Every structure is written in C-alpha cells, then in structure tokens.
Structure 1
C-alpha cells in the first residue's frame, strides 16, 4: 500500500494564508477545532486527508473562477476595449450571504470570495494589463442606485453600481 504524503505543516499554513483565512475560519469550514489547525501548522500532527482535500478543492475553485473570469474579460475586451474595471467585494459575511447564495456551497466565506476577486485583480493586471478596483459593497448606496435606475437585483446591477464608484 502506497503512503500518501499530503501537505506538511508549512504547506498547510501557506495554503490557509493564500486563501486569506484565519485558523478559526479554517476550523469552521473543516468542522475541526482551532487547536487542531494550530497543531497541523506547528507540525504537531498531520492534517487529515479530507481536510487537506477540502482546502485544496476551495483553492482549485478560486483558480477556476480566476481563469473563467479573466477569459471572459479578455473576450469582452476584444469587442470593446477598456482598461479599467470594478469588482464588488463584500465587507461582511451577512452581505456576502445575502447577495451570493449561489456561491455558498463552493465558497462558504466572504473572505474566500474576496480572495478570488483579489486574484482576479492581480491576473487582470499582469496578463491583460487591465486595472481592476475592488469596491466594497455599500448596501444602502447600491439599493438607492438600483431604485434611481430601475434595476433589479442581480450580479450585473452590482457590477454597474461598482463601475460608478471608480
């Protein structure tokens, strides 16, 4: 039987950091304790394979979002060249949950969505030479904008609102 080596302590810590999560948040999404997460990162015990897999799967989901979004932006800019974009990010878990129920199964925390947006911003700058500004959603200003412009609640309306914030 082959031995699975998995992630070592430093790799677990850097995976968590690359996701922009605290040890408490990792404990929450992996249904473990904060003490377990600290022990994995200190090398005192190995992280269970299902925990490693869950965190690596989340990282893969974020990377797929980055690729899909940057490909979409590249296609869009072939038709209508722009060099500035705004992406909405969510300052609280409550706002993220309210406006992104479709992502809760794959990216359960606002920090993960915002990490995705940050990676998209960096990729757009490096690969597409497009400046992306991350705009924190101000729910009241967004609702007022929608009312003034007769827009329904959807991702496109949030994107239009974010563009007005540049």
Structure 2
C-alpha cells in the first residue's frame, strides 16, 4: 500500500506559494478546478494524493536543478574567481515555451523555471558567495545582440546576452 502524503491545507498553500503558482495554475497542473485548490488550502477538503505528489515532484525537480547548477557553478569558480553571473528568466509563458521547449515536460510553466532560477540565485549567494542577477529576456534586444555578434539562437547565446546586460 502506498504511503499517504497527507499535506494539510496550510502546507498545500505554502507549497503552492513556494513554487510561485496561482491557484488556477495548480488546478491546471493537477487536473482540478481553481475552486478545488481553494478548498484544499482552506482545509474544507483534502487534496487528492496524486495532486499532492505532482506538486511535490515538481518541487523535487526544482531542487535537483538547484543542486546540479550550484555544483556546476562551484566547479567553474574553482578554476575562475569570477563572482557574478546573469541568468535569463522569462516574463511570459509564450517566451518560455518558445525558447525552452526541452523543459516543457519537467518544468511546464515559466513560473516554475523562474522559481528554479530564484532558488539557484539564493543558494549561490548564501553558500558560494556568488552574485546572480536574474535578467528578463527582452526579445528585440536579444535579437540585436545576436546579429551584432554573429550568434545563432542557443542557451549559450542567451547567457552571453544576459551577461552583457550587467555591464
């Protein structure tokens, strides 16, 4: 028999808030209505185990990304003493989907990707003493930068553009 997760209403609410999601987004992700999510969070009804598991799984994916990225940054800075990085974040779901189709299965919403970036920023600041600036993608500026530097579309090009925004 599977172990029951058993998150109470306030735990469900704080999990949702820690993911940076609205009640409607949680409803969409879990296949329930926004009213059902409100009912879970108020304690009027218990969230189904599968809905709880889905949100906890997303939180786990984010935490693994934080760990893996922080480890990579730490290894990079053992060789290079640079202490400031820029990460691109996506102000809309459409931009996120356009530039990150490979993440749509693990982190299906821009908010989840941006939450991951925020947690990486905090982890690196506290543990590694590395400052990370979250830079919202500005498509026209990014395209002009790529043209100016003869770059194609890639994650590396977006990282270079973001770093250039810090200067």
TM-score when normalising by structure 2:
0.97
Hey, what does 2:128 align to over in structure 1?
Answer: 128
What does residue 161 of structure 1 align with? 161
- Consecutive unaligned residues of structure 1, counting only runs of 5 or more, are none
C-alpha distance 2-62 of structure 1, shift in aligned 2 (>3 A): closer
**C-alpha separation between the residues in 2 aligned to 1:108 and 1:30?**
12
Report what 2:137 is aligned to.
137
Q: Which residue of 1 aligns with 2:18?
A: 18
User: In the alignment, which residue of structure 2 is the partner of 1:71?
Assistant: 71
Q: Deviations over 1:35-86 (max 9, x none)?
A: 0000000001110011001000000000000000000000001111111100
Q: Does 1:84 align with 2:77?
A: no
1:49 aligns with 2:49: yes
Give the secondary-structure state (helix, strand or coil) at the position aligned to 2:27: helix
Q: Is residue 13–residue 41 contact of structure 2 (8 Å, CA) maintained in 1?
A: yes
CA distance in 2, matches of 1:5, 1:69: 28
Unaligned runs of 5+ in 2: none
Give the distance between the partners of 2:160 and 2:9, measured in 1 at CA. 43
Aligned residues: 166
RMSD: 1.2
Measure how far apart 1:4 and its partner are: 2.4
Tell me which residue corresponds to 1:109.
109
CA distance in 2 between partners of 1:135 and 1:143 (Å): 15
